[in-house]
Chains A and B, each alone.
Chain A
Amino acid sequence: MSQLETILQKFFGHTSFREGQKEIIDDVMIGNDVLGVLPTGSGKSICYQIPAMLAEGTVIVISPLLSLMEDQVKQLKATGFKDVVAINSFVQEMERSQIFHELSSYKLIYLSPEMIQNKRLLTQLNHMKISLFVIDEAHCISQWGHEFRPDYLKLKEVIAFLNAPPVLALTATATPEVQDDIMNQLERMNMNKHIYAMDRENITFSVQYCNNTKEKLVFISDTLQKFPVPTMIYFSSKKEAEAIASHLHYQLPNLRVAFYHGGMDSMDRVLIQQQFMAGQLDIVCCTSAFGMGINKTNVRLIIHYHIPTQIESFIQEVGRAGRDGLSSVSVVLYAPYDEMLPKRLIDSELPTVEQVKSLYHFFDNKFQAKQTAINEQEIMVAFDLNEIQWRFIKFQFEKYEILKDNHIMSIYEKKNVLVPAIEQLIHNRYQEKLAKLNQMVNWIHQQGCRRRTLFQPFQSTIKEPTFYCCDSCDFQFEQWSPVVDIEKTNTEDWRTSLAHLFDQQIMHSDC
């Protein structure tokens, strides 16, 4: 066994690499810049975790997904790789300065895109040997990508400031245009591309038309009654995830159902996630907040109760099924007017022109009153902006040099340029997002092979499905025979349960 395989076995418990992993690691280890496009569930993170263990110096990972970072750090620590840390807004001030103090002792540092703007952190990193700079979810750098993040555009300068270490850009979903854009934005046109097909042979695609939500419910409970398999049901709304979970709990007393969303407290989130992984739960009704760090191999069924806003996130969510290679199914439920909810979501991702205007006036007044420091939280509350909307405005204001380091700069006479420009931008972005949604909706309504049409924008060929392809080609639910490996846990009385937990003989009282 080579050194890489030994590490893979020791820390990750796999005997061999999955497609693409070894190729990327080898390329990265000799110091090349790499762009890796690997499907969800293919173990992207191993591509930088193993180099972090082997290379001299420190690997930096930029990731926008805070819970994913936290999960990865926990999992790495659990396997025995302890020199790893995540620094993001969850980390308290005091702990943060402790971490900064011993920064160079870490082999792997996860950072949020906001955090890497921190001057103190940057200065310290500048004095360290950075062996690799990783950009996870690299499609966020591209304006064509489905999750554009303005902060990512600053990474180019950050990399230069850190003495230009080799760069590894990773993503699960990137069309050829987005791939080019990533390299463009990073100004690294000579990246070695490792592009792997995104479609997985063992996943079958289908759409279920329903007349109303009641029919959706009937379909779900009938299906689960017939196929009691580990299932994730995706919702766009926390409230509905809770409501349907509670409904299914009573409808399907022989299955264990729970809900999961970002509004739950952190211990309950950990518990639900771990129950699902440990096979103590069968069905999770969740929002997109669930599943990032899920390493469960036997999810057999992914149901979309609401349609996602674009095919990229749909592909990511479906990719959580069947990581063990066994037959798994994706069902999208569609009822008339179901496009309305994602449309509302898109609205909430962009500020209105009015909000931009009034913020502009607010800043103008503040500047004239010589109160230039801003408080982001207060602004978000006062102008009724959510975080995504505020991030959008902030980036534009910084671009036009109205804001710098959270201070208002001279605004004088910029209004005539700025407001129309931002208005145009909001309009364009809205149209782009709408086009993405239409792509998703069209996919639902079209008659052709679902597999082929879904992956067409990303790759020219598709793999031969191992089981069924899709409901246009060969699939009907009645034929499905998934592996059902749900174990039943018996409900025990507390004494038995406690004794089991503590590995004790159960005492039978002889009095």
Chain B
Amino acid sequence: MIHLVNYVILYCIAKINHERTTASVYHLLRGKRSSQTIQDAKLYELSSYFGILKNLKRSDFEKIVEKLQESGWIVSNHKNYASLTEDGYIYLQSHQKTFPVEWLNGMQLASISELFWLRLQLTIQTYTNLVQGNNNFIPITDDHTVQYWFKQHYYHSRTDVRESVDHLYKELLTLLESLPTDYATLFVHRLSGYQKIGLSLYQLAQSSHLSVYDVSLLLTCVIHRFVTKVKVKSNDFPYLSMLIPPSEQHVADVVTQSAQKTKQWLEKGFSIDQIAQIRKLKRSTIEDHVIEIAYIDPSFSVESFLHHQAYTEILHGIKQSKTTKLKDIKSLLHNQYSYFEIRLVFASVTDNNRSMIP
């Protein structure tokens, strides 16, 4: 039996390949809100893995890494820098298609889809109870913001309960039918509603003979897939579209609070130095914020920080260099450009473009 989580961790270690400690993989999967983690995700083409296992415990992560080592798939030095062995690469290769990693889109969807999923579960629970005339149930989530959202949604939607239930059912059925049976089963078993309390992660794991983390990983895959589909074809999913939070919310959820403040100053037209002065912070800190925003915010433009010519020269340099190490790129470009400028270009290039970089 393959453990999907092991595969994911192995894949991440392969990408990072000795340049960061294994702990950085842990932070990545948990979706840690720090400039370093967000940058690493982009730098090593691991954006889609960002925040896909928010419930991962440190001790469990370390156990898995140990196991990978015992299996002879990775080797690591005493400072926890690891890389794959030949067996490790063979294992990765041979298990490539075992689960749909291509559905994942962590950096863009991790926080949105988590919220969407909570909202969806509460919506289903409430409507399926109301349609049976039962007002007497305990909400599936303790999250007060989600409960508040639902009240607003319910108050404004004004559609008949029966109608809502039917729409929701149809849209969900369409989405579920595009999934393999195992995945659809996991998803439906997790749902709670009238006279049906959903299974816990542990119970799902037991019934599907997977580990708890594998189950949450598969559910994440499914939710990301759903959110992507609903966003792309919102006309086909009018009901579910209402459950997806706006993308400004996404930026606010992922970017650190301090970077969020920097963003507000930038929008008012202040320069990096001015902001550093106003906020009594180092210039380098503000630069970190800018990089962070550049990674997360799709509407961010590098042009206010970098001339076009500089941009193309750096991009060329990045493509020429065989490494992701900033220091090497900097010297390749004859130290003409600052680290900040190089990082900015890195941040602005999408993952797909990056893949062309050797």
Contacts and interface: CB of A to CB of B under 8 A. Distances in A.
A501 B191 contact: yes
Contact of A504 (B124, B169, B192): B169
Contacts of B189: 494, 497
B142 A501 contact: no
Contacts of B197: 271, 274-275, 278, 280
Which of the listed residues A270, A497, A502 has the most CB atoms from chain B within 10 Å of its own CB?
A: A502
Nearest to A274: B197
Interface string B200-211: 111100100000
Contacts of A95: 144
B30 to A, nearest CB: 14
B203 A501 contact: no
Contacts of B206: 246, 249
Contacts of A503: 128, 131-132, 165, 194
Interface string A253-269: 00000110000111110
A249 B35 CA distance: 45
Contact of A80 (B128, B131, B135): B135
B137 interface: yes
A345 B14 CA distance: 45
26 contacts: A78-B136, A95-B144, A258-B200, A265-B55, A266-B142, A267-B200, A268-B200, A272-B200, A275-B197, A493-B181, A494-B176, A494-B185, A494-B187, A494-B188, A494-B189, A495-B173, A497-B188, A498-B172, A498-B176, A498-B191, A499-B169, A501-B124, A501-B196, A502-B193, A503-B194, A504-B166
B140 A270 contact: yes
Nearest to B183: A494
Nearest to B179: A494
Interface string B151-166: 0000000000000011
A264 B124 CA distance: 24
A410 interface: no
A274 B138 contact: yes
A246 B209 CA distance: 13
Nearest to A258: B203
A347 to B, nearest CB: 24
In the complex, the 6 A-B pairs of residues with the closest C-beta atoms, listed nearest first: A502-B169, A268-B200, A494-B188, A274-B197, A275-B197, A494-B185
Interface in B43-89: 55
A74 interface: yes
A265 B200 CA distance: 10
B198 interface: yes
Contacts of B135: 78, 80
B176 A502 contact: no
Contacts of A78: 135-138
Chain A interface size band reads 20 to 34
Contacts of B138: 74-75, 78, 270, 274
A79 interface: yes
A476 B218 CA distance: 49
B191 to A, nearest CB: 6
Contact of B136 (A79, A265, A498): A79
A500 interface: yes
A158 to B, nearest CB: 27
Contacts, number: 87
Interface in B269-309: none
Interface of B: 55, 124, 128, 131-132, 135-142, 144, 165-166, 168-169, 172-173, 176, 181, 184-185, 187-189, 191-203, 206
Contact of A500 (B196, B202, B203): B196
A511 to B, nearest CB: 13
A151 interface: no
A147 interface: no
B313 to A, nearest CB: 46
Given A267-B141, A498-B173, 6 more contacts: A79-B136, A95-B144, A274-B138, A497-B188, A498-B169, A504-B169
Given A268-B200, A268-B201, A270-B138, A494 B144 contact: no
Nearest to B145: A95
A83 interface: no
B77 to A, nearest CB: 29
A502 B124 CA distance: 8
A332 B332 CA distance: 75
A280 B135 CA distance: 20
Contact of A271 (B144, B172, B184, B199): B199
Contacts of A75: 138
B16 to A, nearest CB: 28
A274 B129 CA distance: 14
A70 B138 CA distance: 11
Nearest to A246: B206
B144 A502 contact: no
A74 B136 CA distance: 10
B63 to A, nearest CB: 15
A271 B195 CA distance: 12
Contacts of B136: 78-79
Given A78-B137, A494-B184, A501-B124, A278 B195 contact: yes
Interface in A446-485: none
A284 to B, nearest CB: 12
Contacts of B201: 268
B168 to A, nearest CB: 7
B18 to A, nearest CB: 33
Contact of B200 (A80, A271, A498, A500): A271
B200 A502 contact: no
A178 B157 CA distance: 55
Contacts of A494: 176, 181, 184-185, 187-189
Contacts of A79: 136
B128 A501 contact: yes
Nearest to A267: B141
Contacts of A267: 140-142, 200
Contacts of A272: 200
Nearest to B168: A502
A280 B196 CA distance: 8
Given A268-B200, A268-B201, A494-B188, A501 B194 contact: yes
A495 B172 CA distance: 11
Contacts of A80: 135
Contacts of B192: 271, 274
Interface in A265-300: 265-268, 270-272, 274-275, 278, 280
A259 B212 CA distance: 14
